[in-house]
């Protein structure tokens, strides 16, 4: 199993450009999450999904969109990139939710710079 | 929003020393997880504690969940360079589908 795979690993965007961060998992997990991690900080939840066709906002959803058309894929879309979106983005998945003490499996991250 | 504060934010010690890092909140959590993150990688789960007062050991790492379920600590005995990384605590707030992550402690062990 590859686990959670994120692409690309690095990307530089100009202000106002758009892009999609890809995330796929091969563990048949129901729950998927997108986090951002600013330098020296913990993780902040952007969006999450409890299953295909269902998405919900996290702490910091503004400026982002997601979709979950399949169990495996959970892409994150930035429509109008802003410097404040410079961060490292992590996708994670779990079989069940936090209430079941499920561990999260993380991808290796996408480092995004908006200049 | 439940806040998890970790202290210290940064810690740099010599190999062989002992250390403790803390994860504190004013909120009660049904469980707490500890993750370690190495540079360029995503966090990896170390342990989950679910019962107030629970103590779990993972080789030289000892994790404790506070009696009131508002805090947790991680104690490392005889630290080694391989322990270097960002340590994150994450809490589940009773039936919430998602975890709240702490602010992190960046640990550096000097050979």
Residue the block writes with tokens 């992590």:
A90
Predicted confidence at residue B98, as pLDDT, reads 79
Would you mind telling me the total number of residues written for chain B in this entry?
Answer: 111
How much is the average pLDDT of B66-81? 96
Average pLDDT over residues A4-18: 96
Pairing assessment for the beta strands B61-65 and B10-14 based on DSSP bridges: unpaired
Say if the Cβ atoms of A40 and B102 lie within 8 Å.
no
pLDDT-based confidence at residue B42 (cuts at 50, 70, 90)? very high
A39 touches chain B (CB under 8 A): no
Each residue of A63-72: pLDDT tens digit? 999 999 999 9
- Rounded to an integer, the average pLDDT of B50-79 is 96
Band (pLDDT 50/70/90 cuts) for residue A98 is low
CA dihedral A13, A17, A18, A20 (to 10 degrees): -10
Interface test with B, best of A5, A41, A43 (most B CBs within 10 A): A43
Joined together, the tokens standing for residue A81 give 């990139």
Predicted confidence at residue A30, as pLDDT, reads 93
- Using a CB–CB cutoff of 8 Å, tell me whether A40 touches chain B: yes
Contacts of A42 in chain B (CB under 8 A): 4, 6, 88, 101-104
Q: Which residues on chain A are in Cβ contact (under 8 Å) with B95?
A: 99
Report d(CA A111, CA A3) in Å as an integer: 19
Structural tokens at position A7: 């692409």
A32 in contact with B, Cβ within 8 Å:
no
Residue count of chain A, please give it: 115
pLDDT for res B95: 65
Question: What is chain A's mean pLDDT, rounded?
Answer: 93
Tell me which of B27 and A110 has the higher pLDDT.
A110
What integer is the mean pLDDT of B16-41? 93
What gap in Å lies between CA A89 and CA A112, rounded to an integer?
7
A39 band by pLDDT with thresholds 50, 70 and 90: confident
Which of A7, A10, A42 is the best mutation test for B, with the most CBs of B within 10 A?
A42
Q: Is the Cβ pair B92, A44 closer than 8 Å?
A: no
Going by pLDDT thresholds of 50, 70 and 90, the confidence category of residue B75 is very high
Give the pLDDT band (50/70/90) at residue A99: low
Q: Across the strands, what pairs with B21?
A: B74
């Amino acid at each position: 199993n590859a686990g959670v795979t994120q692409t690309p690993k690095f990307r530089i965007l100009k202000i106002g450009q758009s892009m999609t961060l890809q995330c796929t998992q091969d563990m048949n997990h129901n729950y998927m999450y997108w986090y951002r991690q600013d330098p020296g900080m913990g993780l902040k939840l952007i969006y999450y999904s409890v299953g295909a066709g269902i998405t919900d906002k996290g702490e910091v959803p503004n400026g982002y969109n997601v979709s979950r058309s399949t169990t495996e894929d959970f892409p994150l879309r930035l429509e109008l990139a802003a410097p404040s979106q410079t961060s490292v983005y992590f996708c994670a998945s779990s079989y069940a939710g936090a209430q079941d003490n499920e561990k999260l499996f993380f991808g290796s991250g996408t480092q995004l710079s908006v200049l | 929003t439940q806040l998890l504060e970790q202290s210290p934010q940064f810690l740099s010690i010599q190999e062989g020393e002992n250390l403790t890092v803390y994860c504190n909140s004013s909120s009660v959590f049904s469980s707490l997880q500890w993750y370690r993150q190495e540079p360029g990688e995503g966090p990896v789960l170390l342990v989950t504690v679910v019962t107030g007062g629970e103590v779990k050991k993972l080789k030289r790492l000892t994790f404790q969940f506070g009696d009131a379920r508002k805090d947790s600590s991680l104690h490392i005995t005889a630290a080694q360079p391989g322990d270097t990384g960002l340590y994150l605590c994450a809490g589940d707030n009773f039936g919430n589908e998602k975890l709240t992550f702490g602010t992190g402690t960046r640990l550096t062990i000097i050979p």
